[in-house]
Amino acid sequence: MRFAKKRILVADDSQGFILYMSVLLSRMGFSVIPADSGLEALKLINLRMPDLVLLDLHMPDLNGIDALKKIRGEVRTRNIPVVMVSADDSAEYKKEADRLGCSGYLLKPVDIGQLHKALQENLIVPSGQMRRNLRVEYSGRVRVASGDTEEELFAQSISGDGIYIMKKGPL
């Protein structure tokens, strides 16, 4: 089960970081809305109403704390989960983000396990169940061997607990 094309806005002044997160989140089944500044993020949040915002702390035009204040200050956007992302591990920034209702704080370089945890805590899959592991789409042939038997099957997705495979025909 996937996250059903939830929309995540990624706001960062680093195009490399936006590209990295876009590829990673797209492979996890999310629709990504890129924003290269705090002001653009605010515009896109109001226009697209994402399910979650990943917000860089240090951006030149409007920093993450000020953007978070504006997000929380509007009735329409105040309940959108916002996860702050920064290389800055300052307790002062973390405390301020938490006081403003930030849903999480990820350090750069982003640990994929921590990212997955933040996604789990803020986005519920349609069945109401949270995933235990990341799952990425993978389409390809795989060979499965058990004892003297070997079969060629088709992989659908891969997760931390294994791989989902299917046969050409019925069992």
pLDDT in tens, the chain (171 residues): 344 589 999 999 999 999 999 999 998 889 999 999 999 999 999 999 999 999 999 998 999 999 999 999 998 899 999 999 999 999 999 999 999 999 999 999 999 999 999 998 898 654 444 455 556 666 777 788 888 888 887 776 676 667 767 666 554
pTM above 0.85, yes or no: no
CATH number of 7-122: 3.40.50.2300
Q: Which residue has the tokens 């795989």?
A: 142
What does the domain layout of the chain look like in residue ranges?
7-122, 135-166
Q: How many CB atoms lie within 10 A of CB 30?
A: 24
Quick: pLDDT tens for 97-106.
999 999 999 9
14: Cα within 13 Å, side-chain hemisphere: 15
